[in-house]
Amino acid sequence: MHTSPPPSDATTESGPPPVPLGALVPLTRPGWTEAGRHLLAGLELGVEEVNAAGGIGGRPLELLVRDTAADPGRAEAAVEELAGLGVAAVAGEYHSVVARAAAVRAEALGVPFLCSSAVLDALTEEPVAWVARLAPAQSHGWRSYAGFLLAAGHRRIAVARQASLYWEAGTRVLRDHLGQRGGTVTELDADALTPRELCDALAEDGATALLLLAGTPQPAVPLVRAVRADRRLDGVLIGAPAGQPEFPGWLAALGADGSGVPFLRYLPERPGPQAVRVGEALRTRLGEEPSFVACEGWDTVAVLAEALRTYGTGRADVVRAWEGGAVAGTRGEIRFSRVAGTGVRQWVWPPVQVADRDPAEPGRFRVLHQG
């Protein structure tokens, strides 16, 4: 487990005591570790920049990182541990089911939790006071993706889906949106079918697009290879709305076969000066092109730092910021509202894009649709 030392309770010779923040990040399997690494890079860069600018009233921020490994139980235990260590707030997490568990525990303990990147609509079953979220609700982004499919002429869609609450919710969004506009969605079981069997079912169905609602590298990478090699499926669009193709591991595993696979990302059409500056710093830090997940990490710290400066470092002070003014993030002004069906205070809405890797230059991204 990635950990940091507990915060000091008193001023030391080196300066005033830090303001501790907890961070939940998937850093080991079965978590999506590439996303976790980008999220952590954004969080750490944000903290370093706040501290370089004088911290919070002269007190530095201290990030206490806990690896969730995509395990809801580990996330709950981490929230309890971090609460005991006196953190002002908990931030982060990428996996929706894990973030849901963390949100419920944070609410029960009265600890502010700012969810950076998880998108499941109902992050909590009931409206809560201590939780806010930067990432858009899944239904918002996935409806935009369905609109992209329709605009591109795809009305007969197949999904290769694994069993999970997140993939099930995404399938419902696609089915509802496409069905209201004359489209259809066929479900193929990505856990039960081999890549060859899935290709046979896809050829029989006649769908013009196959969406990978499945983990990477398994089973998504073998499925892409099988579909690309099957001449019966020439012309079938492969899509991955959850964003798998954005990360370098996708390109390393698939090469040219991984290009031309549209995915969702939450970036503006034209980055502003702050986005450019932060992007350059993240690129240096990561040694690769930063994803929108890294931006979500930086934006998380920007929101929490502004809350701590404006309202105070107590936990009840932090949640007052959920109803406060706008904060300048990398992707626009961040302001929270209540949205039916989410249970939490929500940024409405981050920018939404559908992008892919350019088949002529797989290391380059193309924006195909702006939500």
Strand 353-358 versus strand 263-265 pairing type: antiparallel
Helix-, strand-, coil-residue percentages of the chain, each rounded to 5: 40, 20, 35
Q: Are 198 and 228 in contact (CB under 8 A)?
A: no
Copy the structure tokens of residue 110: 């009265």
Residue 99 backbone dihedrals phi, psi, to 5 degrees = -65, -35
Residue 116 neighbours by CB under 8 Å, 6+ apart? 39, 42, 43, 91, 92, 93, 94, 134, 135, 293, 296, 297, 299, 300
Strand 89-92 versus strand 19-25 pairing type: parallel
Q: Are 99 and 115 in contact (CB under 8 A)?
A: yes
The pLDDT of residue 15:
84
Q: Are 365 and 345 in contact (CB under 8 A)?
A: no
The DSSP call for residue 60 is: P
d(CA 224, CA 226): 5
Angle between the 138-151 and 165-179 helix axes, to the nearest 10 degrees? 50
Q: Are 211 and 218 in contact (CB under 8 A)?
A: no
Strand 345-347 versus strand 131-133 pairing type: parallel
Residue 125 backbone dihedrals phi, psi, to 5 degrees = -70, -40
Q: What is the pTM of this model?
A: 0.94
The HSE-up count of residue 190 (CA atoms within 13 Å, CB side) is 25
- Residue 368: strand, helix, or coil: strand
The pLDDT of residue 20:
98
Q: Which helix (H) or strand (E) holds 121?
A: none
The pLDDT of residue 13:
56
Strand 113-115 versus strand 131-133 pairing type: parallel
- What is the mean pLDDT, run by run of 10 residues, along the chain of 371 residues? 44 78 97 97 98 98 98 98 98 97 98 98 94 97 98 98 96 97 97 98 98 96 98 98 96 97 96 96 97 98 97 96 91 95 95 98 96 85
The pLDDT of residue 1:
45
Q: Are 128 and 159 in contact (CB under 8 A)?
A: no
Torsion of CA 153, 156, 162, 167, to 10 degrees: 60
Q: Are 215 and 163 in contact (CB under 8 A)?
A: no
| Residue-wise pLDDT tens digits, 250-303 | 999 999 999 999 999 999 989 999 999 999 999 999 999 999 999 999 999 999
The owner of tokens 């002269």 is 58
**Amino acid (one-letter) located at 330:** T
The pLDDT of residue 179:
96
Strand 113-115 versus strand 156-161 pairing type: unpaired
d(CA 352, CA 359): 22
Q: Which helix (H) or strand (E) holds 347?
A: strand 345-347
The pLDDT of residue 244:
95
| Residue-wise pLDDT tens digits, 118-144 | 999 999 999 999 999 999 999 999 999
The pLDDT of residue 7:
44
Q: Are 178 and 185 in contact (CB under 8 A)?
A: yes
Report CA-CA distances (Å) from 318 to 162, 261, 283, 302, 310: 38, 40, 30, 13, 9
d(CA 235, CA 185): 18
The candidate with the shortest Cα–Cα distance to 94, out of 167, 34, 162, 36, is: 36
